[in-house]
C-alpha cells in the first residue's frame, strides 16, 4: 500500500527562522526515499484552507513582529485547527509557532499576543532583554521511542506551566532559563524551541513525525513500519555534537 503524507506549512512566507524550512525538506526527502507520496501545501494570511484535510500542520518560528502580524488570522482559524487536531492531524510547531498554541505571549516590547489557548502554558519575555541562545540537547521519550534531540535555541520567550514537556534538558536552557525541560508533546502536537532546523539532526524525530502523519489515515501504522534509511551524515553530525558536549 502506498502511503501519503499531506502537509500544510502555515505562514511559510513569514515564519521561517534559522532554516526552519529545512524541516519540510527533510520530511519530503525521507518520504520520497521510501516511496511515500508527499504533498506540500502552504497557507498564508487570508487564504481559504480547510486545515483538517491535512495529515500534518507545520508552523515555524518567527520574530515578534511576524507573530503579531499573523495572530488575527491564526485566531480566526481556531475552530478549524481544533477540528484538525480532533481528527488526528498532527501538528509540528517550532518556537514562535509553539508559543502561539498556549495562552499568550508577552513580546519583548511588552505587548500581549493572545494565543489559541489550546494549552495551559503561557510565555512571558526574558527580563532585561535576556534570551536563551545556544546549542541544546534533550532526552525525550516519544511514545516509547527514547531519543536525544539536538538543536539550536534562540528565544526571549520564557514558557511556563508546561504540563507535558517534550524532553529533559541535558545541555542548554529549554522552556525558560531554569526550566530543566523543553518543549511540549501530548500525542497531538509537538512544540519545541529547537531550530537548527530540528529534523536534519534528528532523523528519528523526523520519522516519528512522518509516522504520526500517516496514522491520520492509517491508525495502525507504526514507527517500525517505516523502511530504515542509511543516516550516515546525520549520525556523524549527531556524534560530533554529542562528543562536543560530552554527552553519551
Ligand atoms: N519571538 C519569539 C521569542 O523571541 C520567538 C522566536 C523564535 O521563533 N525563534 O521568544
Nearest CA among 43, 52, 95 for reference residue 74: 43
How many Å lie between the centroid of ligand 1 and the Cα of residue 95? 6
Per-residue pLDDT of the chain (248 residues; tens, 9 = 90+): 799 999 999 999 999 999 999 999 999 999 999 999 999 999 999 999 999 999 999 999 999 999 999 999 999 999 999 999 999 999 999 999 999 999 999 999 999 999 999 999 999 998 888 999 999 999 999 999 999 999 999 999 999 999 999 999 999 999 999 999 999 999 999 999 999 899 999 999 999 999 999 999 999 999 999 999 999 999 999 999 999 999 98
Ligand 1 pocket, residue 196 CB under 6 Å: no
Ligand 1 pocket, residue 55 CB under 6 Å: no
pLDDT value for 113: 97
How many Å lie between the centroid of ligand 1 and the Cα of residue 219? 34
Q: How many domains does the chain have?
A: 1
Nearest CA among 174, 149, 170, 172 for reference residue 159: 174
DSSP 59: E
Largest Cα separation within the chain, whole Å, is: 55
pLDDT value for 183: 98
pLDDT value for 129: 86
pLDDT value for 127: 85
Q: Give CA–CA dist 211/208, Å, rounded.
A: 5
pLDDT value for 13: 96
Ligand 1: nearest atom to the Cα of 64: 1
- Pair 89, 52: CB distance under 8 Å: yes
pLDDT value for 128: 85
pLDDT value for 16: 93
Q: Which residues are catalytic?
A: 95, 195
pLDDT value for 126: 80
- Pair 71, 62: CB distance under 8 Å: no
Cell 532583554, residue located = 129
What is the total residue count of the chain? 248
Helices (H), the chain: 21-32, 64-76, 78-86, 96-99, 203-217, 232-244
What are the grid coordinates assigned to 48, written together? 481559504
pTM of the model: 0.98
How many Å lie between the centroid of ligand 1 and the Cα of residue 19? 14
Ligand 1 pocket, residue 194 CB under 6 Å: no
Determine if the peptide bond prior to 149 is cis (ω within 30°).
no
How many Å lie between the centroid of ligand 1 and the Cα of residue 83? 27
Nearest CA among 181, 239, 203 for reference residue 248: 239
Ligand 1 pocket, residue 154 CB under 6 Å: yes
What are the grid coordinates assigned to 43, written together? 497557507
Angle, helices 203-217/21-32, rounded to nearest 10 degrees: 70
DSSP 126: P
Nearest CA among 98, 72, 105, 185 for reference residue 139: 185
Q: Residue 198 belongs to a domain with what CATH number?
A: 3.40.50.880
Spatial neighbors of 246 by CB under 8 A, at least 6 apart, are none
Ligand 1 pocket, residue 169 CB under 6 Å: no
Q: Give CA–CA dist 76/55, Å, rounded.
A: 21
Q: Give CA–CA dist 194/180, Å, rounded.
A: 14
86 is in which domain, residue-wise?
4-244
Amino acid at each position: 500500500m502506498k502511503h501519503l503524507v499531506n502537509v500544510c506549512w502555515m505562514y511559510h512566507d513569514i515564519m521561517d527562522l534559522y532554516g526552519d524550512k529545512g524541516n519540510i525538506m527533510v520530511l519530503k526527502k525521507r518520504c520520497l526515499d521510501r516511496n511515500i507520496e508527499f504533498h506540500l501545501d502552504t497557507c498564508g494570511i487570508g487564504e481559504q484552507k480547510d486545515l483538517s484535510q491535512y495529515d500534518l500542520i507545520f508552523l515555524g518560528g518567527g520574530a515578534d513582529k511576524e507573530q503579531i502580524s499573523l495572530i488575527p488570522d491564526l485566531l480566526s482559524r481556531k475552530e478549524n485547527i481544533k477540528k484538525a487536531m480532533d481528527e488526528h492531524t498532527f501538528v509540528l510547531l517550532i518556537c514562535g509557532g509553539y508559543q502561539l498554541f498556549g495562552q499568550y505571549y508577552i513580546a519583548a516590547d511588552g505587548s500581549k499576543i493572545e494565543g489559541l489557548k489550546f494549552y495551559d502554558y503561557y510565555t512571558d519575555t526574558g527580563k532585561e532583554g535576556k534570551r536563551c541562545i545556544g546549542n541544546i540537547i534533550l532526552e525525550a521519550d516519544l511514545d516509547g521511542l527514547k531519543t536525544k534531540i539536538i538543536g539550536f535555541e534562540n528565544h526571549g520567550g520564557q514558557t511556563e506551566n508546561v504540563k507535558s514537556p517534550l524532553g529533559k534538558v541535558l545541555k542548554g536552557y529549554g522552556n525558560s532559563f531554569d526550566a530543566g525541560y523543553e518543549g511540549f508533546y501530548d500525542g497531538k502536537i509537538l512544540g519545541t524551541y529547537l531550530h537548527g532546523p530540528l529534523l536534519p539532526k534528528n532523523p528519528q524525530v523526523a520519522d516519528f513525525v512522518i509516522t504520526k502523519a500517516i496514522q491520520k489515515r492509517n491508525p495502525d501504522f507504526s514507527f517500525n513500519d517505516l523502511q530504515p534509511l542509511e543516516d550516515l551524515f546525520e549520525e556523524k553530525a549527531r556524534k560530533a555534537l554529542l562528543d562536543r558536549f560530552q554527552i553519551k
